[in-house]
Amino acid sequence: MPDTFSAPILPDATLGMLGGGQLGRMFTIAARTMGYRVMVLDPDPASPAGQLADVHLLADYRDPGALQQMASQCAAITTEFENVPAATLDYLAAHRPVKPDAAAVSIAQDRVAEKQWLTRYGFATAPFAIINTAGEIAAACAKIGFPAVLKVSRMGYDGKGQARVSDEAQVRAAFAAMGGEICVLESLLALECELSVVLGRNKAGEIARYPVSENIHESGILTMSIVPARVSGALAEAALETAAAIATRLDYCGVLAVEFFIVGGGQPLVNEIAPRPHNSGHFTLDACLSSQFEMQVRTLCNLPLGATIQHTPAVMVNLLGDVWHDNGQPNWAALLEHPETKLHIYGKQNARPGRKMGHYTCLDASLNKALAQALQIRARLGGEDNHD
Ligand SMILES: Nc1ncnc2c1ncn2[C@@H]1O[C@H](COP(=O)(O)OP(=O)(O)OP(=O)(O)O)[C@@H](O)[C@H]1O
Ligand SMILES: [Mg+2]
Q: How far apart are CA 239 and CA 253, in angstroms?
A: 19
Per-residue model confidence (pLDDT) at position 171:
98
The answer to whether residues 179 and 214 belong to one domain is no
11-40 per-position pLDDT tens digit: 999 999 999 999 999 999 999 999 999 999
Q: Ligand 1: which atom is nearest the Cα of residue 162?
A: 21
The answer to whether residues 240 and 358 belong to one domain is yes
Q: Which of the four pLDDT bands, split at 50, 70 and 90, describes residue 387? A: very low
Element housing 111 (H / E):
helix 111-120
Which of 116, 113, 97 shows the shortest CA–CA distance to 105?
113
The answer to whether residues 146 and 50 belong to one domain is no
172 and 137 Cβ atoms separated by less than 8 Å: yes
**Pocket lining: 189 vs ligand 1, CB cutoff 6 Å:** yes
The answer to whether residues 357 and 233 belong to one domain is yes
Q: What mean pLDDT do residues 48-63 have?
A: 98
246-300 per-position pLDDT tens digit: 999 999 999 999 999 999 878 999 999 999 999 999 999 999 999 999 999 999 9
154-187 per-position pLDDT tens digit: 987 777 799 999 999 999 999 999 999 999 999 9
Per-residue model confidence (pLDDT) at position 383:
63
Which of 65, 101, 78 shows the shortest CA–CA distance to 14?
78
Write down the mean pLDDT value for the chain: 95
89-131 per-position pLDDT tens digit: 999 999 999 999 999 999 999 999 999 999 999 999 999 999 9
Per-residue model confidence (pLDDT) at position 327:
64
Number of domains making up the chain: 3
Centre of ligand 1 from the C-alpha of residue 210, in Å: 21
Per-residue model confidence (pLDDT) at position 157:
77
Which of 187, 162, 186, 166 shows the shortest CA–CA distance to 175?
162
Residues ≥6 apart with Cβ < 8 Å to 209 = 197, 198, 199, 240, 243, 244, 308
The answer to whether residues 251 and 270 belong to one domain is yes
Range of the domain at 273: 193-381
193-246 per-position pLDDT tens digit: 999 999 999 999 999 999 999 999 998 899 999 999 999 999 999 999 999 999
Centre of ligand 1 from the C-alpha of residue 265, in Å: 19
129-140 per-position pLDDT tens digit: 999 999 999 999
pLDDT over 70, % of the chain: 97
Element housing 361 (H / E):
strand 356-363
**Pocket lining: 228 vs ligand 1, CB cutoff 6 Å:** no
Amino acid at 180: G
The residue to mutate among 162, 194, 256, having the most atoms of ligand 1 within 8 angstroms of its beta carbon, is 162
The answer to whether residues 58 and 145 belong to one domain is no
315-343 per-position pLDDT tens digit: 999 999 999 987 689 999 999 999 999 99
**Pocket lining: 218 vs ligand 1, CB cutoff 6 Å:** no
Domain CATH number, residue 31: 3.40.50.20
Centre of ligand 1 from the C-alpha of residue 156, in Å: 10
**Pocket lining: 217 vs ligand 1, CB cutoff 6 Å:** yes
The answer to whether residues 91 and 226 belong to one domain is no
Domain CATH number, residue 145: 3.30.1490.20
The answer to whether residues 175 and 257 belong to one domain is no
